[in-house]
Structure 1
Amino acid sequence: MDQLVILLSTPSKFESVTSLEIHHHQQHLDKPLNKQPLSQIRLRLQLEVGGTVYIEQYTVMYLWQTKSRM
């Protein structure tokens, strides 16, 4: 099984991550994820410090590479 791991480092001033939304955009719905050459994931983080809420948004583009076995 293939896995995509994304690590996000938030500044230490943020006391908590109050929500995280992940939206995966598939280019071709009829193809499995690892058969699509280019895909993107949109991340929306809601962070809180001192009662103030900040929203950070990221778009992660990734390219699948397949290894051929002999």
Structure 2
Amino acid sequence: MDGAERYAQAGDVVLIQAGDPHDVVEVYETLRGFFVQTGHPAGGRAGHLHRDPADAGGHPVPARPVPADFPSRVG
């Protein structure tokens, strides 16, 4: 998001506004999620958007071991 990679882990909420590019590039544990689409701007459309139509075909997302710099939860 915002041109940078970010870690997300169990309990995190990732909020992405309509039209903001985003992706999942690696997973380190079972990934479960849900999405809600609401409040579309006038003329907006529901569904996942892609900058390049070729991206709509998807891509592999490798499962990898947890990296050493993965942030740990405190508290």
Query: TM-score, structure 2 length as denominator?
Result: 0.27
* Greater strand fraction, Structure 1 or Structure 2: 1
For normalisation by structure 1, the TM-score amounts to 0.28
Rg larger in 1 or in 2?
1
